[in-house]
Amino acid sequence: MAILKIVEYPDPFLTLKAKPVEVIDDEILELIKDMADTMFDAPGVGLAAPQVRSDKRIIVYNPTARSSKNRDCENGETQEQDSSENESKNDYRAIINPEIIAASGSLISENEACLSVPDYSADVKRFSKVTVKGLNPEGKKIQFDADDIQAVILQHEIDHLNGVLYIDRISLLKRNIYKKRVTKKAKES
């Protein structure tokens, strides 16, 4: 078990596009385990390899994570979910070379946050359903559908693989406010 250092905004590594994994070897499998340990230690519900300074297209996430609220953009309804089921300790899935191949619906991911963007959260418009394909750690092709918070987590982590942070999906005004706060904090340090 190794807890890896999480790269934080504004580190330029977070803006780089990750490279596909060509061979699943012991090094990749160890990275996956370390990423999962890091995600749960943080604590978080998802983690992409670039967040731990790896340029590989790998994500890990908690498949049992739940959200307290998400607003459906199409009809304005708020969906409540049972937060008592929020996190099953150490339950994770890894996807190698993940890709969203279909997406539909929309919702507002309320107070979306990121381990690489500390002390900030924002409402982000996301698809409510996605179909993802990739490889599992054994190298087998997988394809599955996810909805609601699981769809949000997958979109968020796959964005990381493409050099996109969730703050890139919010208004310029809100993004600039966060950037100013980070700059001020860096000057004070």
Q: Tell me the one-letter amino acid at 154.
A: L
| Active-site residue identified among 30, 138, 157, 188 | 157
In the chain the first and final C-alpha atoms are separated, in Å, by 31
CA dist list (Å): 150 to 15, 45, 55, 86, 134: 23, 10, 23, 12, 16
Question: Is 157 among the catalytic positions?
Answer: yes
Q: Residues for the chain: how many in total?
A: 189
68 in Cβ contact with 83 (< 8 Å)? yes
Q: Which H helix or E strand runs over 70? A: strand 69-72
Name, in order, each residue with C-beta under 8 angstroms of 189's C-beta and a sequence gap of 6 or more.
none
Sign of CA dihedral 46, 103, 117, 83: negative
Catalytically active residues, by annotation: 157
